[in-house]
Chains A and B, each alone.
Chain A
Amino acid sequence: MNNTVIRQKMRRLASGEAVISLVLIATSLTFLFYLIPEYIVEPRRLQSPLLSPLILPQIMGWMILLLGVGLVLGTLFGPQRERVEKSTPLRDLPVIQWLLPLLAFAVYYFGFEALGAAVCGVLATLLLFVAMGVRHIGIYLLGVVMPVGICLAFDYGLNVPLPYGSLWGY
């Protein structure tokens, strides 16, 4: 094997595909040798080893390990495929465009029970409108009316109550 071939293989090994495969291998090893023994409780008396709750997780762990190795080998020796990037990398985006959606997710998760579904819905929807540069005032009004209306529809129409917000004493 000459230097060019070795360099080519090394470049392939540093590619995204190989990194994914290596992450899979590391994950499967952690799963097989740490998570399964630590977090799957085997009963003291088993009628048959095949009935053990460990069997399927172990099979799946080994399967991921083998497939991970297969993917690495495929990257090294298989035909080279060009990956089509579907979207813009994060670093190219204006801060507002990823920070506000992130904030909207946080509002939903951390504020859902404290602020209530309607308030969270309004806040997050408005944040997402701002993130995308929506300028029509009518759409912002929709962002206020819609969450409140949907909350009421869930509660009174579908009989599926959503939280009104512990901060407001509900």
Chain B
Amino acid sequence: MDQILEVLSLFLSVENILMIALGVVIGVVIGAIPGLTATMAVALALPFTFGMEPVTAILLLVGIYKGGMYGGSITAILIRTPGSPASASTLLDGYPMAQKGEAKKALSMALYASCIADFISNLSLIFLAGFLAQLALSFGPPEYFWLICFSLTIIISVSGDSVMKGLVAAALGVILALVGMDPVYGTERLTFDNFNLMDRINFIPLLIGLFAIPEILEFYLSRAREHIQTAVAGADMTWQELKRSMRTIIRGSFIGVIIGAIPGTGATAASFISYSEARRNSPNRENFGKGEIEGVAAAESGNNAVAGATMIPLLSLGIPGDVITAIILGAFMIHGLTPGPILFQENMNLIYALFCGIMLSSVVLFGTGKLAIRYFSRIADVPKQILFPIVLMFCIYGAYAVNNSTFDIAVMLVFGLVGFIFNRTGFAAAPFLIGFILGPMLEDNFRRSLLISNHSFDVFVRSPIDWFFIALTLLSLGFALHRYIQSLRNN
């Protein structure tokens, strides 16, 4: 009883609740601005937490993290500009829905899927932290290698009409991601002696360029009069639609939890895997990519479930799963706390207070999201000839803000042109992005595996996890082949 009271006294304060709300609002707004990421927001907020109580400080940062994860989906749906790479899969169906006048429906589904996934993720953090932390510890470079191999098979499902073109786009993405200094030997790769390229091509300008700029170019290079019409935000989501997508949301949530608990894998892979699995299992798989509400549910549940799950290795092992949790780890340390097993022994009340706050953040996210939808969905009603110049301005400011460099504006414009050519020639941009993000991770883990095993290939089949992911990869490829043969027969 005393312990419960102590936890409540730690958690139930006006300051804590206000900071969670403030954090979520900041996160949603920053996540919705192209170029500004939740990572940037958490990093900028860190100095403001120095004078706060530890629980308040961590809850503010967690609020920003969760708000940022959801906020990225708003612009992805409305203006085809994902706020973060993890939201790139949301636009595959979210934007076509907005184009059809179902922006509000897509935004609502994104919110419900995000909040349900976030809630499941929080429950996993509270009840399965020990088990998932154990699982995360058994992941070494070979296991990551196979996990990424499996993740790469999703290229097939996001390739659009031509798998071959999807593979070409993915290969081009991998090549561009290799530009920079080689991480093992430190030699230059395709930098053309340009110092801006030595630190690799930043993915934020690339992301904005690849998705937002082609849309703007398409608009200006088409007949104006045909396009001057307002898209209406449309009707809201119905309970039947939510019920229909529930299985997808729960599946996506568990995918997000497992991926999130493994340090270094990230929300992008989780959202694309969730999307791919949803497409594979849905009776409406033909509608994916054309404005299927289940696609939005899958992508958003996958990426938001990662937020709570990345706290699992952080709290239980002291290992940050991504950059944001690394900053949160810093916040713990600034307040004299070291996450890990000892924290659970010595500061159990603080951990429980954090759990309460994290659970509350899901509720706050829902409320904030509802409010955000009411105002943001009006963007869909703004005529494009007024909206697009403002979107372009945000894109330019956002790209510049990444490194305070006009080089990033150039990168954004170049990839805008690439995206435009892709659109015109039937290449999908999503495989390119997947290749760009996962390619270097694949290479890095392959080389690290060889280094730790003294160049023996046995390391790649050393554990049941390896075999599990090999089997998943083969199954995924087999399923894709089966569908391809079936479609050939049907044609």
Chain A residues proximal to chain B, CB less than 8 Å: 16-17, 20, 24, 31, 35, 39-43, 47-48, 50-51, 53, 55-57, 60-61, 63-64, 67-68, 70-71, 74, 79, 81, 83, 86-88, 90, 92-93, 97-98, 101, 104-105, 108-109, 112-113, 117, 120-121, 124-125, 128-129, 131-134, 139, 142-143, 146-147, 150-151, 154, 158-163
Contacts of B442 in A (CB 8 A): 56
Contacts of A42 in B (CB 8 A): 187
Q: Are B190 and A67 in contact (CB under 8 A)?
A: no
Q: Are A124 and B389 in contact (CB under 8 A)?
A: yes
Q: How far is the CA of A43 from the CA of B185 in the complex (A)?
A: 7
Q: Are B220 and A98 in contact (CB under 8 A)?
A: yes
Contacts of A142 in B (CB 8 A): 386
Q: Are B400 and A128 in contact (CB under 8 A)?
A: no
Of B50-58, B83-91, B102-110, B174-182, which stretch is located at the interface?
B174-182
| B405-434 to A contact mask, C-beta < 8 Å, 1/0 | 010011001000000000111100000000
28 A–B contacts, CB within 8 A, in A order: A39-B188, A39-B190, A40-B190, A41-B188, A48-B450, A50-B450, A50-B455, A51-B184, A57-B175, A60-B172, A64-B171, A67-B167, A71-B168, A74-B164, A88-B223, A97-B220, A98-B220, A109-B409, A117-B397, A117-B400, A124-B389, A124-B396, A125-B392, A132-B385, A134-B386, A150-B397, A151-B397, A163-B400
Q: Are B190 and A121 in contact (CB under 8 A)?
A: no
Is B371 positioned at the interface, with any CB of A under 8 Å from its CB? no
Tell whether A60 pairs with B171 under 8 Å between CB atoms, given A47-B455, A105-B413, A160-B36: yes
Contacts of A92 in B (CB 8 A): 223
A26 to chain B, nearest CB (A): 13
B4 to chain A, nearest CB (A): 40
| B151-175 to A contact mask, C-beta < 8 Å, 1/0 | 0000000000100110110011011
Q: How far is the CA of A151 from the CA of B396 in the complex (A)?
A: 11
Contacts of B175 in A (CB 8 A): 31, 57, 60-61
Residue of A nearest to B386 (CB): A139
Q: How far is the CA of A126 from the CA of B175 in the complex (A)?
A: 38
B38 to chain A, nearest CB (A): 13
Tell whether A154 pairs with B401 under 8 Å between CB atoms, given A43-B187, A57-B175, A129-B389: yes
Is B388 positioned at the interface, with any CB of A under 8 Å from its CB? yes
Q: How far is the CA of A97 from the CA of B224 in the complex (A)?
A: 8
Tell whether A113 pairs with B406 under 8 Å between CB atoms, given A53-B189, A56-B178, A71-B164: yes
Q: How far is the CA of A161 from the CA of B190 in the complex (A)?
A: 31
Tell whether A35 pairs with B172 under 8 Å between CB atoms, given A86-B423, A90-B221, A129-B385: no
In the A-B complex, the 4 residue pairs with the smallest Cβ-Cβ separation, listed nearest first, are A132-B385, A128-B389, A41-B187, A87-B222
A28 to chain B, nearest CB (A): 9
Is B451 positioned at the interface, with any CB of A under 8 Å from its CB? yes
Residue of A nearest to B394 (CB): A150
